[in-house]
Structure 1
Amino acid sequence: MKKVLGKALGAAALALAFASPALAADDAPAAGKWQVKVLATSVLADGKITAVRKDLIGLPAGSQTDASNNAFTPTLAIEYFALPNVSVETICCFTAHHVSGAGALDGASLVDHALILPATVTAKYHLTLPGGIKPYVGAGGAWFFYIAERPGATAQTLGATRVKLDNDAGVVVQGGIDIPITKTGLGLTLDAKKYWISTTAHFYTANGTEALTTRHRMDPWVLSAGVAYRF
């Protein structure tokens, strides 16, 4: 985690160094109402069991889970500036993860695949620095939709033929920086989001019996870098 954040900060410093000489304060691009961002995103999952609500298989004491990271997913962000320094942003992306065992379940394959749509809306406040550089902070809400979940090999061995992860709501905070590189609205952007959100996992046997129900905290970091166009 520290290594990823260090790289992101280094990229920001490098972009700032290149962008600052190119655009003096009086060369800042005209501010439009809309901004579109095309991003490369890393999703650093932090999933843990917080409660076992039903257990017909007898989980051993100390059972825990570990959700995989997604090193790269393409992301589209659309932002509307209601005021010169206040905007509303939403993002669109799909991120794929699997869930393995930890603790007493170390090495177990529990969820082989889960596709997540992290529907997110945030309100952001932007500072304005020389050259039109805009650091920002924001906060908002999110709803995670889970699609195409599949039981892992270990879960199947224990009799699970289907797994369902509940869609759920949570909150998100973010911070980042937009750096103009031309006077026509093109720029670079770096963004970091922290989510607090949970889900409930349901494991079913072939006859439809719900054999295991567990509540999980998700709480991922979502780190993005890319290009922006404001118009």
Structure 2
Amino acid sequence: MRKLTLLAALAAATAFTAPAHAGDPNGKLQVKLLGTGVLVDGEITEVRNDPLALTPGAQTDINNNVIPTVAIEYYATPSVSVETICCLTQHHASGVGALEGAALIDHIMILPATVTLKYHLNAGPVKPYVGVGPSVFFFIDEKPGATAAALGVDRVKLSNKVGFALQAGLDIPVNDTGLGISVDGKKYFMDTVAHFEAGGTEVLTTEHKLDPWVVSAGVYYRF
């Protein structure tokens, strides 16, 4: 996955350093390099299995993160495009309420595979758009947090889930060679199930609402 991210970033960097005449403000392809804030919820919405009664009065929270992302977009028509993103974001889950300060899950790596169908409005030099599309969150290499490990948990797994994203943003050209500034926001609707195991026995199973806001800003190059 990291190799894929590096290759996408290299391709985007190559595009940005290409001669100016290669750019086209009406081209079919567009690449964005963005700084992205991932603002996650993480609260428990259902307790499916809790034989040790660990959850009464307890809640969970997942930290926010800021990461670089690459977006690649294909324009089928001047008004309709399809976009996908490439990024990995890392988080951890902590307890609140009765579990205040507890380190529950470390190293939650998420690959948010997302494709959106976008409609671009004709508003003169500024190019607003809206979009919608499916998403799958792939969870990679989760580990028990220090508190969970101290209680005997030796394995944590978050289930990969299918959800969807709503999107809105602005592309603002800065010249006539395909270069511009982009501001983008996505609201994901996504949940996951956390499985906590100790010695091969599942000791806690909880469903969590993720529903992150993903907000980005950066530059694009269209060609």
Alignment TM-score, normalising by the size of structure 1: 0.84
The corresponding residue for 1:50 is 45
Structure 2 stretches lacking a partner, 5+ long: 1-23
For the pair 1:204 / 2:197, whether they are aligned, the reply is yes
SS of the residue aligned with 2:116? strand
Q: Quick check: 38-47 or 49-58, which moved more? A: 49-58
For the pair 1:191 / 2:184, whether they are aligned, the reply is yes
Measured after TM superposition, the shift of residue 60 of structure 1 is 4.2
The corresponding residue for 1:157 is 150
The corresponding residue for 1:35 is 30
Aligned pairs (5 A) from 1:136-155: 136-155=129-148
The corresponding residue for 1:128 is 122
Counterpart code for 1:182: N
The corresponding residue for 1:182 is 175
SS of the residue aligned with 2:149? helix
- 1-side partners of 2:183 and 2:162: how far apart? 25
Measured after TM superposition, the shift of residue 59 of structure 1 is 1.3
The corresponding residue for 2:101 is 107
Match 2:208 to one of 212, 216, 223 = 216
Counterpart code for 1:215: E
C-alpha contact 2:25 2:179 (8 A) present in aligned 1: no
For the pair 1:118 / 2:112, whether they are aligned, the reply is yes
- 2-side partners of 1:30 and 1:214: how far apart? 48
For the pair 1:73 / 2:99, whether they are aligned, the reply is no
- 1-side partners of 2:92 and 2:162: how far apart? 20
Counterpart code for 1:36: V
- 2-side partners of 1:197 and 1:155: how far apart? 24
- 1-side partners of 2:96 and 2:45: how far apart? 13
Structure 1 stretches lacking a partner, 5+ long: 1-28
- 1-side partners of 2:159 and 2:211: how far apart? 15
Give the count of matched residue pairs. Answer: 200
Alignment TM-score, normalising by the size of structure 2: 0.87
- 2-side partners of 1:146 and 1:37: how far apart? 24
Measured after TM superposition, the shift of residue 44 of structure 1 is 0.5
Q: Are residues 186 and 134 of structure 1, via their aligned partners in 2, closer, same or farther at CA, if it must alter by over 3 Å? A: same
- 1-side partners of 2:190 and 2:55: how far apart? 26
Match 2:90 to one of 93, 96, 99 = 96
What percentage of aligned pairs have identical amino acids?
61
Measured after TM superposition, the shift of residue 104 of structure 1 is 1.3
Measured after TM superposition, the shift of residue 129 of structure 1 is 2.3
Match 1:82 to one of 67, 76, 84 = 76
Match 1:63 to one of 53, 58, 62 = 58
The corresponding residue for 2:15 is none
Measured after TM superposition, the shift of residue 103 of structure 1 is 1.4
